[in-house]
Amino acid sequence: MYFIQTPFWLRLIYRSCIWRKPNQDRVLYLSFDDGPHSEATPFVLGQLSNFDAKASFFCIGKNVQLHPEIYDAILAAGHVVGNHTQNHMNGWKNNTENYIADIQEATKVINSNLFRPPYGRISFSQIKALRLHPALPQQIVMWDVLSGDFDTTITGEQSAQNVIQHAGPGSIVVFHDSAKAMDRLRIALPKVLAHFSKLGYQFKAL
């Protein structure tokens, strides 16, 4: 089970995290989790370039080590990167010490003040511990709209509609540049970019 649009009560509980950007202008903040990936990330970069769009890539440290040239291509294209832990670690299933150590390991290859917890799962004690380490990323970025592209039970068209029906000015939208999401991403991302471009939206990095 997952929420396409993050409910108000969840944003209230984790109020110290960033869920959307207060913006009255037609701006969307597309973000991509779990890369870099040898196939998905170059596809994403190509689609973004087609629409003169900027985005934010929350990268896994071990994937950056596997594909440093793709990571460099993200930066060279003017996009923003964020820390997504070294090993895609679930905060709810790991103690605070191990979790912080995994984030710290990822900082060796990811230079960013942005952090997104994998699965959106992080405890209050882990948030507090992160704040106590100023050398680690301090802005915890969640999302307003989840595309669901990781969900193998839906189609790419359904993933696109998840975003089209729920995103608006200031929304932070999550896609995944991963092998698992690729079948849906290939369909959903171009549709989302085209739809919101026609409505006069800009796509900016966080």
Specify whether the CB–CB gap between 191 and 197 falls below 8 A.
no
| Whether pLDDT at 24 is above 90 | no
In a domain, 189, yes or no: yes
Q: Would the pTM count as exceeding 0.95?
A: yes
Specify whether the CB–CB gap between 146 and 10 falls below 8 A.
no
Phi and psi angles of residue 143, each rounded to the nearest 5 degrees, phi first: -165, 160
The CATH number covering residue 164 comes to 3.20.20.370
In a domain, 1, yes or no: no
In a domain, 3, yes or no: no
In a domain, 164, yes or no: yes
Reported as a single tens digit per residue, the pLDDT across 120-163 is 999 999 999 999 999 999 999 999 999 999 999 999 999 999 99
| Whether pLDDT at 173 is above 90 | yes
Active site residues: 33, 176
Pinpoint the alpha helices (H) of the chain: 8-13, 40-50, 61-66, 68-76, 96-106, 124-131, 156-166, 182-198
In a domain, 172, yes or no: yes
Q: What is the predicted pLDDT for the residue at 15?
A: 95
Reported as a single tens digit per residue, the pLDDT across 179-200 is 999 999 999 999 999 999 999 9
In a domain, 2, yes or no: no
In a domain, 121, yes or no: yes
Domain containing 127: what range? 8-203
In a domain, 16, yes or no: yes
Q: What is the predicted pLDDT for the residue at 23?
A: 76
Specify whether the CB–CB gap between 55 and 203 falls below 8 A.
yes
Number of domains in the chain: 1
Reported as a single tens digit per residue, the pLDDT across 74-117 is 999 999 999 999 999 999 999 999 999 999 999 999 999 999 99
